[in-house]
Amino acid sequence: MKSLRGRFIKTTIWVAIISTALVVLTALLLLFVYSVCEPYGFERIWIGLSRLKAENQSGGHYFFGYVILWVVTAIGAVLLTSTVASARLFGNMLRALKHLQKAAEKIKDGNLDFEVMACGEQELNDLCNAFDEIRKTLKANAEKELRSKEERSMLMANLSHDMRTPITTIKGYLEGIKDGVANSPEKLDKYLDTIYSKAIVLQKLVDNMAEYSELELGRMQYAFEFINMTQLLGELTQGYQEEVQEQGLTMEINILEEQLTIVGDRGKLKRVFDNLVSNAIKYNREAGTISVGMVQERRGALICISDTGTGIQEKDQNKVFDGFFRGDAARSNIKGNGLGLGISKQIIESHHGKIWIKSEQGVGTEVYIYLPLRSY
């Protein structure tokens, strides 16, 4: 690609060469014409005008006419050459500037689905590339804003959908108590237990929404400390045993005995494992198995939580960590707001770790977490 500065220099050199050549050719042509048209033309030129006048020789004024004609022709040749060369050079520049002007008008009108074409000169091409980068940035920001708007709309839709059932249940049981339907201590206890369980569902929903909003806004506060992951994961799995057994499932634990230390927020990591085990319970098959394992992988702790449940369709596996996402089959049968994995991903990434998923529909799902090890 040619440099604009180089083209300026090259054009200037060519203008000088061509103008000089034209001036020389014009001078030679006029000398030839003068020598042919005037008697003793060459002799007069060599003798000089002063001597000719001194000898009272006529024709000096004719020679002055030829000189004036040569000067006018030379100036015209220089101007013509400069004009043609400059028009050609600045024509390319004007085309590039008009192209950028049209691009600016499109951006002003909100049209970002185009590409700023490259220019022939290096400096102009750099300007076009910079302009196109601005367009790409504006387009990315517009798409991000559109996604945020869609997420907010989905948030309101999911929130109303997920809160309707527990609120309706609570309202119904409270009306039953108020109307005296719960006319025995056993029935009243049953009603109150149901109301309490639905209130817990609402509390989890609100907590999820609050955490997700804090993470999206970058306002989540972490209390990092040195954590023995072997001990923490062992304590958490023991706590999950009762809930798993109540659902008629089996839990398998395979955690190495060696101490693996990380730097993390104990409460936030517990939140992640609560989400993953809760999903493993919800999406498992009857009498299924939940497995929790941890090994040391290079300089990190590799944790796997798997189930023998319904699995996830291949087309949905890249979307499960998006906020509010739920597969169609899961949405129709299982309650939830689709925030758990999205929150888990952001928490793990805040710990400089990674989280990913492997799943086969009808076989089960494996969720992997990698957290870098630290030393005291």
Q: What DSSP letter does each residue of 255-304 carry, written as one string?
A: E-SS--EEEE-HHHHHHHHHHHHHHHHHTPPTT-EEEEEEEEETTEEEEE
Among 105-114, 270-279, 342-351, 354-363, the least confident range = 105-114
Q: Please, which pLDDT band fits residue 356 given cuts at 50, 70 and 90? A: very high
Burial of 156 (0-12, 13-18, 19+ CB in 10 A): exposed
* CA distance linking residue 128 with residue 116, whole number of Å: 6
Most confidently predicted of 5-14, 109-118, 140-149, 225-234: 225-234
Over residues 164-191, the pLDDT tens digits come to 888 888 999 899 888 888 888 888 899 9
Query: 9 or 4, which is more confident?
Result: 9
* CA distance linking residue 126 with residue 181, whole number of Å: 79
pTM: 0.55
Do 316 and 365 reside in the same domain of the chain?
yes
111-122 burial code (b ≥16 CB/10 A, e <16):
ebeeebeebebe
Report the share of the chain in percent with pLDDT over 90. Answer: 22
Residue 127 in any domain: the answer is no
Do 233 and 356 reside in the same domain of the chain?
yes
Residue 324 in any domain: the answer is yes
Domain closes at, from 217, 237, 254 = 217
**Nearest CA among 351, 308, 312, 347 for reference residue 329:** 312
Domain closes at, from 111, 138, 173 = 111
Do 365 and 240 reside in the same domain of the chain?
yes
Q: What is the pLDDT of residue 300?
A: 93
The CA distances from residue 291 to 136, 305, 364, in Å, are 45, 6, 11
Do 9 and 79 reside in the same domain of the chain?
yes
Over residues 76-96, the pLDDT tens digits come to 777 777 777 777 767 767 777
The CA distances from residue 317 to 357, 361, 366, in Å, are 7, 10, 11
Residue 332 has pLDDT above 80, yes or no: no
Do 188 and 248 reside in the same domain of the chain?
no
> 345 in helix, strand or coil?
helix
Contact 209, 217 (CB under 8 A): no
In CATH, what number is assigned to the domain containing residue 192?
A: 1.10.287.130
Q: Look up the domain containing 165 and give its range.
A: 151-217
Do 260 and 343 reside in the same domain of the chain?
yes
* CA distance linking residue 264 with residue 224, whole number of Å: 5
Residue 130 in any domain: the answer is no
Residue 222 has pLDDT above 60, yes or no: yes
Q: What is the pLDDT of residue 94?
A: 74
Largest CA distance in the chain: 150
Query: 4 or 55, which is more confident?
Result: 4
Do 250 and 301 reside in the same domain of the chain?
yes
Residues 79, 85, 89, 92, CA torsion sign:
positive
The total domain count for the chain is 3
Do 174 and 106 reside in the same domain of the chain?
no
In CATH, what number is assigned to the domain containing residue 259?
A: 3.30.565.10
Among 61-70, 90-99, 359-368, the least confident range = 61-70
